[in-house]
Amino acid sequence: MRADAQRNRDRIVEVARALFRAKGFDAVSMDEVAKGAEVGPGTLYRHFPTKESLYDAVLEAWAEKVNATVDSALALDAPAREQLLTWLTDYAAMLTEHKGAAARITAALGDPGSPFAAKCQTYLNANQRLIDALDSALRPGVEAMQISRLVGGVAAVADNSALPSDSVASMLAIVADGLLAP
């Protein structure tokens, strides 16, 4: 990639990250990002063919954080319920950091053609590792996809309604108890 192209790409992602974080996905227009990054719309769209692909680039760091978060929850010297709750809470918190991300990633969970497919896989793998680790403490037959969708759904609701963290925690506690073996 040419140096000017790289420069522009970096600036676009940086500006977009700030805007998305401040206003949420829907409230940010591509023109706004282009103006902020001081490039024309054409340049922006050559780097990122759709708004979603730009969002995907912005969430690049997110995937790494998911892995680190599930690791640290599983490393806890605590009962399975606490490990589970820690992970669910941390994950939901991570999602609501970027307004609109929860619904988008959750919606893409079953769609391999989505721009977020790679991120969905990371997330699914994290829940699979959780299942493998907690094993018999969990409800028999529970699947990574189920946990991913349930928690994604709760996170999306929390995000949409800008719920305080204790409301989210009480909902996640219900989900966690449902996930644990009877």
Partner DNA sequence: GAACTATACGGAGACACTCTCCGTTTTGCA
Partner DNA sequence: TGCAAAACGGAGAGTGTCTCCGTATAGTTC
> How far is the C-alpha of 85 from the C-alpha of 45, rounded, in Å?
41
- 120, 173 Cβ separation under 8 angstroms: no
Q: Does 51 bind DNA (CB under 7 A)?
A: yes
Residue 170 binds to a copy of itself (criterion: CB under 8 A): yes
102-131 positions binding DNA, by CB under 7 A: none
> Would you state the structure tokens that stand for residue 51, as one six-digit string?
């708004």
* CA distance readout (Å), 162 to 14, 64, 157: 24, 25, 8
* Contact code string over 11-40 relative to DNA, x by CB under 7 A: -----------------xxxx------xxx
Residue 146 is a binding residue for a copy of itself (CB under 8 A): yes
Among 90, 63, 61, which Cα is nearest to 151's? 90
- Interface residue with a copy of itself among 37, 59, 103, 105 (CB under 8 A) is 103
- Please, are residues 50 and 80 in contact by the beta-carbon 8 Å criterion? no
**CA 153-157-160 angle, 5° bins:** 135
Q: Does 142 bind a copy of itself (CB under 8 A)?
A: yes
Binding site for DNA (CB under 7 A): 1-5, 7-9, 28-31, 38-43, 45-47, 49-51
Q: What is the binding site for a copy of itself (CB under 8 A)?
A: 103, 106-107, 109-111, 139, 142, 146, 149-150, 152-154, 156-157, 160-161, 163, 167, 170-171, 173-179, 182
